[in-house]
Amino acid sequence: MAAPEPRRGSPLPGRCAYFVERKKRFCKMIPAPGRRFCGEHGQQEQENDRKRIPCPLDPKHTVYEDQLQKHLKKCNSREKPKPVYFVQDINAGLKDVAEIPEKTVPISSLSKEELKNLIIKVKKASNGLELDLKEQILSHQALQEALNDPKNGESAFKHLKQQASILGNMEKLHLLGPGRCFVEFGAGRGKLSHWVDVALQNVENVQFLLVERATTRFKVDGKHKRRDSVFERLQVDIQHLCLSKLLLGL
């Protein structure tokens, strides 16, 4: 068994003196005045006899045992009241046991014969449906400057081209106009709504609902300066989103 690597250097000035073995570096948190360790690693100080325990709501962080009840009331991991538009499993599909297959397997695990039979079943089930979909790759002037910007790499250009085509198709269908509420599912940073807002320019009475279940960094919807458009972000899984209850309150 290899011996542990020796600790290198010393903590940065004004930073915690606790060495994090997993990261092979000193903690970068700022301790309280007169302390060598931050609150998370305060138990390292001999004069500090207060015990820290893992938070029962999220064991990834610790809390002073004598302040546990106070911490539980403000912990970011505590269960928050459900908003009016949250309805458990409203979009999860039917729960009839008879309609749930006993066993599900990935398509990649099927044999050629099984895959062939599956294709036949899908074609039979879709027979009579309107499947004549035409590919229409359009563009929109709102994104022309960004599309021509050489600073955008290949990945950024791919997304910009896709967003420009979406806006182009929306314009062709006369969906870009006043008095509209645009809902972006899986919004991420909110770039699509951003470009729709740019395309609308001076159009009045426009609202955007950005739905994303995960916490998102570097959001762009908070940087809009137009007062005529309203951006609202909903952190919820689409599985539990009751859109009708939400729109009734608009």
Question: In this predicted model, what pLDDT tens digit does every residue of 32-78 receive, in sequence order?
Answer: 887 888 888 876 655 456 788 899 998 888 888 888 999 999 998 88
Give, for 223, the enclosing helix (H) or strand (E): none
- Interatomic CA distance for residues 162 and 166, integer angstroms: 6
**Percent of the chain whose predicted confidence (pLDDT) is above 90:** 44
pLDDT higher at 147 or 96: 147
| 0.85 exceeded by pTM | no
Residue 69 gets which letter from DSSP?
H
pLDDT higher at 101 or 38: 38
Of 52-61, 130-139, 155-164, the least confident = 130-139
* HSE-up of residue 79 (Cα within 13 Å, Cβ side): 2
Q: What angle do CA 138, 140, 144 make, to 5 degrees?
A: 115
Rg (CA), the chain: 27
Convert the pLDDT of each residue in 172-200 to its tens digit. 999 999 999 999 999 999 999 999 999 99
Whether the pLDDT of residue 212 is over 50: the answer is yes
Whether the pLDDT of residue 99 is over 70: the answer is no
Query: Both tokens of residue 59?
Result: 């064991």
pLDDT at site 188:
92
pLDDT at site 129:
79
Which domains, ranges and CATH numbers included, belong to the chain?
19-74 (no CATH), 176-248 (3.40.50.150)
Q: Which long-range contacts (CB under 8 A, 24 or more apart) does 152-160 make?
A: 159/191
Query: Both tokens of residue 187?
Result: 């919004």
